Structure 1
């Protein structure tokens, strides 16, 4: 089995919004970053993956299993972190261990307490005394303590300071080192994905705009800047997110298009692209 998750033509319609034929593949042993603006469909996709919503059409296979027909088996091998901890504030590590051992057949007490120690979380301290960073680490410790092979994470580093964020990213990288574990992470903090992601999937207005290897993606596009007349060498369809500035213009284009047009595009220069640039030019840019 080469893929941790395969989503095909997943759709869900609401009044005023539709998730339309979402498809993506997460290979085993890798991390996929799921990006898009607020309201793009990220949360709806995650809820459909977890069967928290009824889909209109499409399929989701996790670790080779259908997430509806074999839901129990799937969730036993899936570690989920969805923002808030959602545990009573009076609980501590000891009580959480007792509760989780009754929920997950594969719960590993020694692994859980080892994770608490590794993350600097006192097992006797109540959750209400934890900082936001500690609560996120606790969520991750739980997700890592029942034999999960795939982590599904929604904004795991949001609101955390850079040092704690970096610690959590190291935890994720350690998790996939054996090349059988995988991570699907939805986040607005695209700088984190530039550090850890192997694949990027970008959703916009309920549709997948692109889903591919991060390095390939970053090599695929360039940012063009220069005088407005330099862009006359391009067809409108060849530019993504054209923006006129006070002293010129800029746009994103595929690198292969730039190579063909460079000689006739007087005064334009090409800069490397970042993940955030791709989002901004697709979402906020205009056409010529």
Structure 2
């Protein structure tokens, strides 16, 4: 058994108007990794490459100790994408019968219990479900496969706060097993506050920040002012008229003087400012 559930080494994907540039990432057992960044930053592309759905130009990807896209790796991975993977004409109640032959670890009792817990109607077809119900169905289907790695790509989209909290509770229960791991991509960063151990910020196809969630948040500050913006020590800058805000390292705060307004940086602050101007930094 390896100590990591997924590993990406120097991933490069080049398209006409987009590039994944030298991304390396480990997802260790026992950890929840939050993958965040502006829309179009490359989060979904990285996940699709990890699942073998995109062939990279270069780099090496391992999933559960096997090469990306391998049957062995996918069999140990539960996947929650932004749309249900089941056929739209299937009824929810028939999914277990249809999918169980393909998953040796399929747990029908767990599937039924999750559908009931998440209030997913079993008599409706997949195509009749709301977006939120479809996400819940995908989560129930993924966990019924008895995975070791759970990959969620924007699972909170279309869900109300109560449903997002329920999904968070289910992920915590999944992580009771120290051999499990989660990769959680989301633009709702508040969902990661009590879940993620590590944070990876992707900007324009590159990893701009990575580290333990608490270290990342504690390592940055936002300085605000008007007039000419600062140049030294600035990792990202936003301007609105004469006003500006800049992302800085916490150790740079003394260099801005008493007149500067300096606040703690949130995860959203980090994403927004690095999305404007960035360089790679490590917490």
Q: Normalising by the residue count of structure 2, what TM-score does the alignment of the two structures yield?
A: 0.89
Q: Which has the larger radius of gyration?
A: 1
Give 1:128 shift: 4.2
3-state SS in 1 of match to 2:177 = coil
Q: Is 1:161 equivalent to 2:160 in the alignment?
A: yes
Contact 1:7 1:23 in 2 (8 A): yes
Give 1:34 shift: 1.0
**Aligned positions, number:** 278
Give 1:95 shift: 1.3
Contact 1:225 1:269 in 2 (8 A): yes
Mapping for residues 1-288 of structure 1, pairs under 5 Å: 1-67=2-68, 71-226=70-225, 228=227, 236-244=231-239, 249-259=244-254, 261=255, 265-284=257-276
Aligned mates of 1:18, 1:226 — CA distance in 2: 34
Distance 1:124 1:159, change over 3 A: closer
RMSD: 2.3
Give 1:247 shift: 6.9
Distance 1:282 1:132, change over 3 A: same
Contact 1:243 1:249 in 2 (8 A): yes
Structure 2 gap segments, 5+ residues each: none
3-state SS in 1 of match to 2:194 = helix
Distance 1:237 1:132, change over 3 A: same
3-state SS in 1 of match to 2:20 = strand
Give 1:204 shift: 1.2
Contact 2:247 2:273 in 1 (8 A): yes
User: CA offsets per residue over residues 205-256 of structure 1, 9 Å max, x none?
Assistant: 1111111111000011011124658x76xxx240123345667543111012
Aligned mates of 2:92, 2:244 — CA distance in 1: 56
Give 1:184 shift: 0.6
3-state SS in 2 of match to 1:156 = coil
Distance 1:19 1:242, change over 3 A: closer
Q: Normalising by the residue count of structure 1, what TM-score does the alignment of the two structures yield?
A: 0.88
Distance 1:178 1:15, change over 3 A: same
Structure 1 gap segments, 5+ residues each: none
